[in-house]
Amino acid sequence: MWRWSGEEAGPSRRRNANSSPAAGSSSGAAALQTHPWTGGVRGFEPAAAKLRPATPHQLEWSLPPAGSYDSVPLIRLSCGVNSYEWGKKGSDSAAARFAAATPSDSLSIQADKPYAEDLVTGRTLLDLFSENKALLSQSVSAKYGDKLPFLFKVLSINKALSIQAHPNKKLAEQLHARDAKNYPDDNHKPEMAIAITPFEGLCGFRPLSEIAHFLATVPSLRRLVGEDNAKAFEAAAKDGTEGVTDDKKKALQNAFGGLMSSSSEDVAAEIPKLVQQARSEGGDFASGGVPSTRGEVMAELVTRLHGQFGDDIGLFVLFFLNFVTLQPGEALFLVADDIHAYVSGDIIECMAASDNVVRAGLTPKFKDVSTLVDMLTYNYAPIDEQKMAPTEYPYATLNRTAYSSGSAVALYDPPIQEFAVVRTLLRGDGAKATFEPLDGPSIIICTGGKGKISVGPTSHEMKEGYVFFVGSTAELVLESQVGQDEEFTTFKAFCEIEGSEKQRL
């Protein structure tokens, strides 16, 4: 249950208050000291760090002018935006609006330009972390080195991203050793997507009965899969054995592999027939569709993606994968070796720090079809099992205003150590949430409304697009400054290893 401490949130129970302070750096930075009011660190703390795009997934951090440092582990970040062609255009893009909130960049949003990705953080702040390991915490620094173990982004998607999967740690090491150009690191990449506007995506394999239905009602799909593979799959799908079995997974792999091994000539010959069927049948497409996806929805997806990608095999992969829609606040967690594609919408995306992607469709980029077919787990499940439901976050205290207005703090806690995400929604003016210190770093972004962010006596304005880094052991306070019927919404990604709330939930 939420803890309510009366009109104002009282001091939270502090953790790690007796942790040893880190030594100052050899560069002459001030030695880090323990804050008596937070248990945090002080010294060499810029209030407004700068991030500039270097490569598409790498940002460069630079210090603000001399004399602008304060003594609190609360750092305002400025983030670059990537203009990939799949992004939403102009101010329809949340990534563009958020990036434009950086006053020093003076981004002028162009109505006809796509804005795809607001890079909140990546391999960033390295100079600061190398000199101030206490900002990360001893446990995080020991495990992941002098860098954040997660990437945190805002994606604004107008055109579908590639059908892809991310390798597990062992496979990532093998791929990187074999082909460092296309697989630039040796890390795994589990990821989570949280909708901030209505979102569409493809995620995981459908229940076998749904795939069998499409094999029976979409002739062009069946021809590419191959008759022998289709019949073997249909027999496996009718097997009365409960649950996921190895035989069923093998039949699924053979059917999917048959499709993915189709020649480009065969795919190009079948796509006009598929598109014609979708356009002519409309709501009756594929005999009305399946329980999770109506025929008219599948027909619209086929025609839309054909308009975006032409004769791409991804149009047939649609029939194997769950089609998912998310409303704001709903989430997906994608484990390593899990096939997926983002189709449209604005999302918060958090993932382990890696750039490894194995692609197989809906893309002009490098495709590694054989690796993708071999690496997938071939688990299958209804789409509801692919979603991640948030839970109440127990380490925040709401004041009376927040409690009475129905404000909420929710935790998205995937089964990995690299990251978790907290969404804070404060309704009405003066709603306040006080967060117990974390033994690890955080990045927090405002996606709506405005308010105030504070660590100790230091406060900063926070509104849509503002991003802050919060150092380890800092007690964080958020307070809304909105109208009675308005909301101040933030998302905070964090990592905590030892003695963490993730282990105590």
Torsion of CA 234, 236, 239, 244, to 10 degrees: -130
> Long-range contacts made by residues 264-270, C-beta under 8 angstroms, separation at least 24?
264/311, 266/223, 266/224, 267/224, 267/311, 267/312, 267/313, 267/316, 268/311, 270/220, 270/223, 270/224, 270/316
Q: Which two tokens stand for residue 102?
A: 């950086």
Q: What is the DSSP letter of 23?
A: P
Measure CA 227 to chain center: 38
Rounded to 5 degrees, φ, ψ at 4 are -125, 125
Residue 194: closest CA among 419, 25, 366, 36: 419
Within 10 angstroms of residue 291's Cβ, the number of other Cβ atoms is: 10
Q: Is 97 annotated in the active site?
A: no
Q: Which of 206, 222, 359, 427 is flagged as catalytic?
A: 359
Question: 3-class secondary structure for 296-315?
Answer: HHHHHHHHHHHHHHCCCCHH
Distance, in Å, from the CA atom of 382 to the CA atom of 208, rounded to the nearest integer, reads 10
Distance, in Å, from the CA atom of 414 to the CA atom of 225, rounded to the nearest integer, reads 34
Residue 130: closest CA among 24, 50, 33: 24
Question: 3-class secondary structure for 194-236?
Answer: EECCCEEEEEEECCHHHHHHHHHHCHHHHHHHCHHHHHHHHHH
Instruction: Tell me the catalytic residues.
Output: 359
